[in-house]
């Protein structure tokens, strides 16, 4: 993909993300204030922190929407915004994979960074629970402490699998162009 087309695409993706993040701050419930955005505000939801959560969200939503997106949110968050946060991001992710080759860090370094970010988010979720006594996602209330630990471990395994699959797709689509890019960059 040409540099100017790629830059345009990335600028549009950034503007889209900024627009969605801004739109979530403008959500107002009709009637009494919603408790959805109390402590931690919108920043307690993984969707806002990382818009590429389509698959996990829609899988849980299909199984039992009350576990991740209670029906009460329909009166708070417009349908278009829900789809902007949970559906539209999937094509952006696919386009990103197809648009250009990515240079992944060494496997160990990449997985350590990924694990660190997951640990930070889990810590944030647990902190919110310790302060408010309410789980960010109703799903978590169904688990015992050991069940919750198993859920987080399973989620981390899925995240690592997605990371590895992304690296695999990158290699399958772009092949040796990544190595060529490395040599090109090192020569300058």
Taking the C-alpha atoms of residue 52 and residue 56, their distance in angstroms, rounded to an integer, is 9
Taking the C-alpha atoms of residue 73 and residue 37, their distance in angstroms, rounded to an integer, is 11
Taking the C-alpha atoms of residue 79 and residue 73, their distance in angstroms, rounded to an integer, is 10
Taking the C-alpha atoms of residue 128 and residue 132, their distance in angstroms, rounded to an integer, is 6
Quote the pLDDT of residue 55: 77
Taking the C-alpha atoms of residue 170 and residue 184, their distance in angstroms, rounded to an integer, is 18
Taking the C-alpha atoms of residue 187 and residue 172, their distance in angstroms, rounded to an integer, is 25
Quote the pLDDT of residue 41: 56
CA torsion 169-171-172-175 (nearest 10°) is 160
Query: Helix, strand, or coil here: 103?
Result: coil
Taking the C-alpha atoms of residue 4 and residue 10, their distance in angstroms, rounded to an integer, is 10
**pLDDT digits 0-9 by tens, 67-99:** 888 888 888 888 888 888 888 878 888 888 888
Residues of the chain predicted below pLDDT 50: 32-34, 36-37, 44, 48-49, 51, 179-183, 185, 187-188
Taking the C-alpha atoms of residue 143 and residue 146, their distance in angstroms, rounded to an integer, is 8
Long-range CB contacts for residues 158-164, cutoff 8 Å, separation at least 24: 158/56, 159/114, 159/118, 160/111, 160/114, 163/110, 163/111, 163/114
Quote the pLDDT of residue 112: 94
Quote the pLDDT of residue 141: 92
Quote the pLDDT of residue 33: 44
Taking the C-alpha atoms of residue 107 and residue 164, their distance in angstroms, rounded to an integer, is 9
Taking the C-alpha atoms of residue 22 and residue 42, their distance in angstroms, rounded to an integer, is 10
The region, left, alpha or beta by phi > 0 then psi within -120 to 50, assigned to residue 111 is alpha
């Amino acid at each position: 993909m040409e540099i100017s087309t790629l830059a345009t695409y990335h600028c549009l993706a950034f503007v889209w993300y900024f627009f969605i993040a801004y739109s979530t701050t403008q959500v107002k419930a009709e009637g009494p204030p919603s408790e959805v955005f109390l402590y931690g505000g919108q920043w307690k939801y993984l969707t806002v922190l990382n818009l590429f959560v389509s698959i996990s969200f829609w899988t849980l939503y299909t199984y039992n929407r009350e576990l991740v997106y209670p029906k009460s949110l329909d009166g708070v968050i417009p349908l278009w915004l829900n789809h902007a946060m949970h559906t539209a991001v999937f094509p952006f992710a696919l386009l990103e994979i197809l648009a250009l080759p990515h240079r992944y860090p060494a496997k160990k370094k990449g997985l350590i960074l990924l694990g660190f970010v997951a640990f930070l988010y889990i810590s944030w979720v647990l902190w919110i629970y310790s302060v408010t006594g309410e789980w960010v996602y109703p799903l978590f209330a169904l688990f015992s402490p050991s069940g919750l630990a198993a859920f987080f471990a399973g989620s981390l395994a899925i995240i690592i699998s997605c990371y590895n699959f992304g690296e695999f797709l990158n290699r399958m689509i772009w092949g040796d162009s990544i190595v060529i890019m490395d040599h090109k960059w090192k020569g300058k």
